[in-house]
Amino acid sequence: MNFFDRLGERISAIDSIVSVGLDADVDRIPDHLHDHDLPRWAFNRRIIDATHEHAAAYKPNVAFYEDRNGWAALEETIAYARGKNVPVLLDAKRGDIGNTARKYANLLDMADAITVNPYMGRDSLDPFLSRQDKGVFVLCRTSNPGGTDIQDLELASGESLYEWVASLADLWNANGNVGLVVGATTPDELEEVRERVPDLPFLVPGVGAQGGDAEAAATYATARGAGLVNSSRGIIFAGEDAGEDFHKASGQAAKQLKKQLNQYR
Ligand SMILES: O=c1ccn([C@@H]2O[C@H](COP(=O)(O)O)[C@@H](O)[C@H]2O)c(=O)[nH]1
């Protein structure tokens, strides 16, 4: 079954489009977990136990795991999340010449979907796109303030670069496995992209810590029954000051976000 069909089933089963971002920043993990061999794994396990009923997907950003112990923590985390039947989207933002991209695409052996950077063009993404059973989310209009610097540039055709990327991604969707990353911090752009590509599911980051628009995120995220709205710090560090019970606040935060988003979908 295709990734977006599986994601759609998960969304229907738990009535949630919440993606819980597992950005396990070691500097913010509670002190008592630092005695563990793999503190990030110990942290994530408690977060997953507390949030999985509300999680349509988990989204670990690989930046928080790119060291020796980090990678082991990431592997444990992914196996545990998938053991709870929650798909895992690896936020890796890869893309390179074809020979290198084919190695980056091996990351999909450990996850259900990945984020990729389209800047180097079609051949840099082919090794990902050819994995028919995996999801490939292409960066389109990102949530950071600097998203305007390049993505908003107007092309000779009059459209902006992010709109062009959205149309290209639609063309790259021969296997039905392409989605787009469009931030909640620019709701007008989110709406525009949704109008342009009605059939591509979105990953919408930027609600919570970045202050993005939850209503627009929920309204435009979904296509073909699939789509995700992500919050990372707003969920996993909700109980930062709660000591050993930190995960309970994360469970509440995930549940609350699910309720908030469900008002608009
Ligand atoms: O446009 C983008 C693309 C990716 N991200 C990533 O999503 C999470 C957001 O974390 P918060 O703590 O909820 O702000 C993080 O991993 C980013 O690298 C994004 O924010 N915007």
Predicted confidence at residue 219, as pLDDT, reads 98
Cβ(232) – ligand 1 distance below 6 Å = yes
Decide: helix, strand or coil at residue 88. Answer: strand
The Å distance, Cα 9 to ligand 1 centre, comes to: 24
Residue-number span of the structural domain to which 213 is assigned: 3-262
Cβ(70) – ligand 1 distance below 6 Å = no
Q: How many CB atoms lie within 10 A of CB 122?
A: 12
Nearest to 142 by CA among 203, 51, 83: 203
**93 is known as an active-site residue:** yes
For residue range 145-180, list pLDDT tens digits in order.
999 999 999 999 999 999 999 999 999 999 999 999
Residue with tokens 């969920």: 235
Question: Whose CA is closest to atom 19 on ligand 1?
Answer: 205
Full DSSP string of 103-144: HHGGGGGS-SEEEE-GGG-HHHHHHHHT-TTSEEEEEEE-SS
Predicted confidence at residue 7, as pLDDT, reads 98
For residue range 61-117, list pLDDT tens digits in order.
999 999 999 999 999 999 999 999 999 999 999 999 999 999 999 999 999 999 999
pLDDT band at 265 (very low <50, low <70, confident <90, very high): very high
Ligand 1: nearest atom to the Cα of 61: 16
Query: What ipTM does the predicted assembly reach?
Result: 0.99
Q: What is the share, in percent, of the chain residues with pLDDT greater than 90?
A: 100
pLDDT band at 248 (very low <50, low <70, confident <90, very high): very high
Whole-structure pTM value: 0.98
Q: What is the mean pLDDT of the chain?
A: 98
* Sign of the four-CA dihedral 23, 21, 245, 46: negative
How many structural domains does the chain have? 1
Q: How many CB atoms lie within 10 A of CB 153?
A: 11
Cβ(30) – ligand 1 distance below 6 Å = no
Provide the CATH number for the domain around residue 101.
3.20.20.70
Cβ(218) – ligand 1 distance below 6 Å = no
The Å distance, Cα 205 to ligand 1 centre, comes to: 5
Predicted confidence at residue 99, as pLDDT, reads 98
Predicted confidence at residue 184, as pLDDT, reads 99
